[in-house]
């Protein structure tokens, strides 16, 4: 039994590697839903979908999100309304990429939630419809929203995560983060048991601040991870001081963290006993271990399934 | 100033003819929203969309609904979830045709309603985005749902209009109709004035029982029509005892009405002073007039814009 904490693209790629070395039926992925967004009346779960589509072999390999061979008729047609909408309205927004086939996922999820189904049940149904063998569980059935306070031309504004990530192309300074609703949220069924019962808990190479932190913010999960610390192995998303993808490096710096594997080690030291870092950071292994975290040095760049599987093998064997 | 009461396809075609003989800026269409449906979390207004797309010249000419050149990727992809959904769930339903470009309309409408916009404002925005010059007004901003009690294998079941019309292909016996919410609904802004101030009020060749009756059921509209009766001209959707399209003929019979222009005259006599019937019903003109309604006999089959314009000219000149 292996349990992983997952964000989006990096986690999805790691999971494809993990399924090559561990029976998918023995894998549980606890997925961040802090970046879920409601748009056009639809409930959209970007990280869950990225993990699902990737494990189904249906992901767009160029973008890392969305479906391969996607069409964009609906979004294109939405442009007509966006151009005509009243000032102040956000309806008809085309800044968030919704492919035609991807829309079906959001239509189904929204309809099931409207029927009263729990998000975790819907996540499982969608994964099953795609033939995904890994057990996917959202961190919570409750709404937790990652809110980002950004500096725009000197004024601080709090916006939703997707407004920051997609709408602003994560290209504005971040002042602070907040996980709205987290205090009242409960872990989804099976989350705490999956952490408690796993031989290894893997923190995927995801953004520690906006992919893993929302999961940790759901009451009960942080404590479960601390109790499991000796079995928790994290993979650094920072390689040689930079993120392969996304704003993790910039965000770490803006929020006062060390933009290095040492900074990652500090963030994860309370919950992880081992940090896997890339060969490029071999000279930092001592500094990582000085944070009280064992350091394993291996290639961590997942250029393909072979590399992802090798990384997964190293991570599972790291303790 | 001409005001029309409109259902879907027949009304839309009549309106294309009317815009050829009257300045579109002088036309107000009060459109049925009793067959609006919420599906997948989206608010769908079939009659309004049919009228909008038709007046925009964008309608699929073969079906009479939906957009020309439409693609169906989202609906196709939804099939994956429909096949996998739990028993009892209606999520992932593919029985209601939602084209990819058409979806944009529902996404925009849903987002605007969620922002607190009134339906009538959204209808006007969508029409403007399509360059429609006719003023389109939903009968009400409030939710009125046409409910159909049908006989299925001897058991009577009340279902929503689209469940009957699309889901059952209007191929089950109708026992009764109800307009849920009508008693508490208010006419949309401008509806009563449009009836009061029009030189002619046209009841389009729409289904009297499920396209026009829901409009009449909104408190205040029936009284306004009765007060305007001398200026109200109806066009019979029944020609030689049959409907050109849809279940009007069958439904009239099932609900105890005469399936003829005389039956239509009886239904409209309280609110219309003139009924326009097709040449095929010339021999019924006397029977129509015996119901207290003047009868105008002209060709009413709108095979194209030319015929629609000729019909519109006759209707506007009928009083």
Q: What pTM value is reported for the model?
A: 0.94
Whether A319 has a pLDDT exceeding 90, the answer reads no
Could B73 and A40 be called an inter-chain contact, meaning their C-beta atoms sit closer than 8 Å? no
CA–CA distance, A272 with B105 (Å, rounded to integer): 48
User: B51-54 contacts: CB < 8 A, separation 24 or more?
Assistant: B51/B6, B51/B8, B51/B11, B51/B12, B51/B15, B51/B136, B52/B123, B52/B126, B52/B127, B52/B130, B52/B132, B52/B136, B53/B12, B53/B130, B54/B9, B54/B12, B54/B13, B54/B15, B54/B16
Q: Stretch A214-222: mean pLDDT, rounded?
A: 98
The pLDDT tens digits for A111-164 are: 999 999 999 999 999 999 999 999 999 999 999 999 999 999 889 999 999 999
Coil, helix or strand for A145? Answer: strand
**Choosing among B102, B103, B109, B123, which should be mutated to test the A contact, i.e. which has the most A CBs within 10 A?**
B103
Could A111 and B103 be called an inter-chain contact, meaning their C-beta atoms sit closer than 8 Å? no
CA nearest B214: which of B248, B251, B177?
A: B177
User: Which chain B positions have a beta carbon within 8 Å of A90's beta carbon?
Assistant: 111, 115
* Residue B252: predicted pLDDT: 97
The ipTM assigned to this model is 0.93
The pLDDT tens digits for B225-281 are: 999 999 999 999 999 999 988 899 999 999 999 999 999 999 999 999 999 999 999
* Residue A259: predicted pLDDT: 97
**∠ CA A102-A106-A109, rounded to 5°:** 135
* Residue B245: predicted pLDDT: 87
Q: Which residues contact B49 (CB under 8 A, 6 or more apart)?
A: B65, B102, B105, B126
User: Which chain B positions have a beta carbon within 8 Å of A78's beta carbon?
Assistant: 104, 107-108
Whether A209 has a pLDDT exceeding 90, the answer reads yes
* Residue B122: predicted pLDDT: 98
- Asked whether B4 and B225 are in contact (CB, 8 A), the reply is no
CA–CA distance, A26 with A19 (Å, rounded to integer): 9
CA–CA distance, B73 with B77 (Å, rounded to integer): 6
CA–CA distance, B146 with B213 (Å, rounded to integer): 9
**In this complex, which of B86, B100, B125 lies closest to A71 when CB atoms are compared?**
B100
Half-sphere exposure of B62 (CA within 13 A, CB side): 3
Q: Stretch A195-224: mean pLDDT, rounded?
A: 98
Sequential DSSP letters for A100-124: HHHHHHHHHHHHHHHTT--HHHHHH
* For B130, nearest residue in chain A (alpha carbons): A80
Could B91 and A129 be called an inter-chain contact, meaning their C-beta atoms sit closer than 8 Å? no
Rounded to the nearest integer, the mean pLDDT of chain A is 97
Could A117 and B89 be called an inter-chain contact, meaning their C-beta atoms sit closer than 8 Å? yes
- Asked whether B118 and B109 are in contact (CB, 8 A), the reply is no
Q: Calculate the dihedral angle through the C-alpha atoms of A203, A208, A209, A215, rounding to the nearest 10 degrees.
A: 0
The pLDDT tens digits for A66-77 are: 999 999 999 999
3-state helix, strand and coil shares in percent for chain A, rounded to the nearest 5: 45, 20, 35
* Residue A212: predicted pLDDT: 98
Q: Which residue has the tokens 């964000």?
A: A7
Could B81 and A43 be called an inter-chain contact, meaning their C-beta atoms sit closer than 8 Å? no
**Segments in chain B below pLDDT 50:** none
Whether A245 has a pLDDT exceeding 90, the answer reads no
3-state helix, strand and coil shares in percent for chain B, rounded to the nearest 5: 45, 20, 35
Q: Stretch A267-278: mean pLDDT, rounded?
A: 98
Neighbours of B1 (CB within 10 A): 15
Q: Stretch A248-255: mean pLDDT, rounded?
A: 96
CA–CA distance, B99 with B57 (Å, rounded to integer): 17
* Residue B319: predicted pLDDT: 72
Neighbours of A164 (CB within 10 A): 26
CA nearest A80: which of B109, B116, B168?
A: B109
């Amino acid at each position: 039994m292996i349990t992983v904490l997952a964000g989006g693209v990096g986690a999805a790629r790691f999971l494809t590697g993990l399924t090559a070395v561990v029976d998918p039926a023995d894998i549980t992925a606890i997925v961040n839903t802090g970046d879920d967004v409601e748009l056009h009346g639809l409930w959209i779960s970007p990280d869950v979908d990225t993990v699902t589509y990737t494990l189904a072999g249906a992901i767009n390999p160029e973008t890392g999100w969305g479906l391969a061979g996607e069409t964009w008729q609906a979004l294109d047609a939405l442009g007509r309304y966006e151009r005509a909408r009243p000032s102040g309205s956000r309806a008809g927004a085309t800044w968030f990429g919704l492919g035609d086939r991807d829309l079906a996922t959001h239509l189904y999820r929204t309809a099931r939630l409207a029927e009263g189904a729990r998000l975790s049940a819907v996540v499982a149904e969608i994964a099953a419809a795609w033939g995904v063998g890994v057990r996917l569980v959202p961190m919570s059935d409750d709404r937790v929203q990652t809110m980002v306070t950004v500096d725009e031309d000197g004024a601080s504004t709090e916006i939703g995560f997707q407004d920051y990530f997609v709408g602003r192309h994560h290209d504005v300074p971040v002042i602070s983060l907040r996980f709205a609703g987290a205090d009242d949220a409960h872990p989804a069924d099976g989350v705490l048991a999956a952490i408690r019962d796993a031989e290894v808990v893997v923190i995927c190479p995801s953004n520690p601040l906006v992919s893993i932190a929302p999961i940790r913010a759901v009451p009960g999960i942080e404590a479960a991870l601390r109790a499991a610390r000796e079995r928790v192995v994290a993979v650094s998303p920072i390689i040689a001081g930079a993120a392969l993808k996304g704003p993790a490096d910039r965000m770490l710096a803006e929020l006062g963290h060390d933009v290095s594997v040492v900074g990652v080690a500090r963030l994860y030291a309370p919950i992880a006993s081992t940090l896997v870092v890339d060969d490029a950071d071999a000279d930092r292994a001592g500094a990582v271990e000085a944070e009280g975290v064992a350091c394993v040095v291996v290639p961590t760049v997942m250029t393909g399934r072979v590399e992802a599987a090798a990384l997964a093998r190293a991570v599972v064997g790291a303790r």
